[in-house]
Every structure is written in structure tokens, then in C-alpha cells.
Structure 1
Amino acid sequence: MTVPTRHPMDPEPVPSTKARAVFALGLLAFLTGALVGGVIPATLALMLARQVRREAYAAGGYLIGATWVRRGERLAWAGIVLALTALVVASIAGLLHLAAAPGGQDFDSNTD
């Protein structure tokens, strides 16, 4: 099996700086996801990931960084899941707190 040789006029593959930005935003989303603030960087990471994939496709294989994009997308989705989990837990805790709060009777207890 022979390795295909590159044509001398082919450009060198270049790493995508946007791919690293997707990873950084995804990591930020994951780290702040439980605080519900991770939704914004996660959304930005997912939008930027679509743009990077389009640019990489248009570059015909000369723009590299798909691994960073995949990792960033996974971290972004994990940040969104953490934010949703935090909202559900906070809602349940709030409902339990309201259910346990003493509420007064809204009718007279001395009725015959």
C-alpha cells in the first residue's frame, strides 16, 4: 500500500483558529453550566462550530481542527444539559419549599 503523494502546488494544511475558539467556548459553557450562565457560551460555541464545519468543507481538507470542534461541541452540549439540570433541581426545590411553608386556613375553623 503506497501513501499518496501531495502535489507540489497544494497548500499546506492550516489549523483553524475558530476550532480552538469553539473548544474554549465549550469548556467555558461546561464550567459555568451548573450556574445557568453556560447557556450563552454554549450557544455561541454551537453556532461557531457550524461555521467552522462549513469553512473546513469549502477548504477541501486544507483547514484542520475537526477534533477541537467535536470536543467543543460535546462540552457545549454538556454545559446546556448542566444548565437545564440546575433549572429543574431549582424548580423542584422551590416547589418543595412552597409546599412545606405553613399556609393559613382561609375559612373559619369555628363553624358548626
Structure 2
Amino acid sequence: MMEGMTIAPGQVPVAPHGARHPLDPDPVRSSKARAVFALGLMGALTGLFVGGVVPATLALVLARQARREAYASGGFLTGAAWLRRGERLAWAGLVLVAAVVVAALVIGLVRSAGTPFGHDYAPNVD
């Protein structure tokens, strides 16, 4: 531990990290994580207008690719928090789309149940 450095009660000292290899890349935020968040946000905002299904689906597909790339990078790609938020927003957008579609179907069925089936003839026609 360094001289003159005090540690508050309950705090755990941080172990010094080993020296990085000079050829190791610097950790960088994944650009796909930002795209997933942006698409997820668009999906959530436009979920009430059934068009939200397109950006939400793209966000989920891109999130899968971003997770695969982050795993393969060995920790040099960051942005997992943005990725999680984007996925949650995308799923929220898809839930909103599903709710709108179900509501439209129910309203359509109720309206069609109230109308008579077939042709309605005048009372004096046999």
C-alpha cells in the first residue's frame, strides 16, 4: 500500500493491476451498442404507431451481434449498459406494438359483432 494513503472503514483497497502489454488495444465502447440503444429508443417511442416493430427488431438483431463481438474481443469492447438499455427499450416497443394490435383486433371484433350479418331487406320484401 502507498504511504500516506488512508482507507475509510469498510472500504477495500484496490489491488494494483499488472502492466498492460504494449500491443493490447485500448478498451473502446462498441458502436453497435450505441446503435442498439438508438434503435431501441426509436422502437419504444414509435411503438404505439405499429411502425415501432421495425427499429425494435433491428435493435434486437444488432444486440445479438454486439454481444457476440464483445465476447470475442476479450473485454476490449465496452458498452454493455447501453446494450442492455437498448434491448429493454426494444422489447418495450414490441410490447406496445402487440398491445396496439390486440386492441385494434378487439375493437374490430366488437364493432363487427354489432352489425347484422348478410343483407338487410326492407320489411315488405319476401
The normalised TM-score by structure 2 is 0.77
Change in 2 beyond 3 A, CA 1:100/1:14 = same
Who is 2:60 aligned against? Answer: 46
**Deviation of the 1:100 alpha carbon:** 1.9
Cα distance between partner residues in 2 of 1:65 and 1:7? 21
CA distance in 2, matches of 1:42, 1:67: 17
Q: CA, structure 1 residues 46+89, in 2 after alignment: closer, same or farther (shift >3 Å)?
A: same
- Identity within the alignment, %: 60
Match of 2:36 among 22, 33, 36: 22
Q: Aligned partners of 1:38, 1:80: CA distance in 2, in Å?
A: 7
- The answer for unaligned runs of 5 or more in structure 1 is none
The one-letter amino acid of 1:25's match is L
What is the count of residue pairs matched by the alignment? 109
Please tell me the root mean square deviation across aligned C-alpha atoms, in Å.
2.2
Q: In the alignment, which residue of structure 2 is the partner of 1:98?
A: 112
Whose helix proportion is higher, 1 or 2? 1
The runs of at least 4 consecutive aligned structure 1 residues that moved more than 6 Å come to: 104-107
Task: Return the TM-score normalized by structure 1.
Answer: 0.86
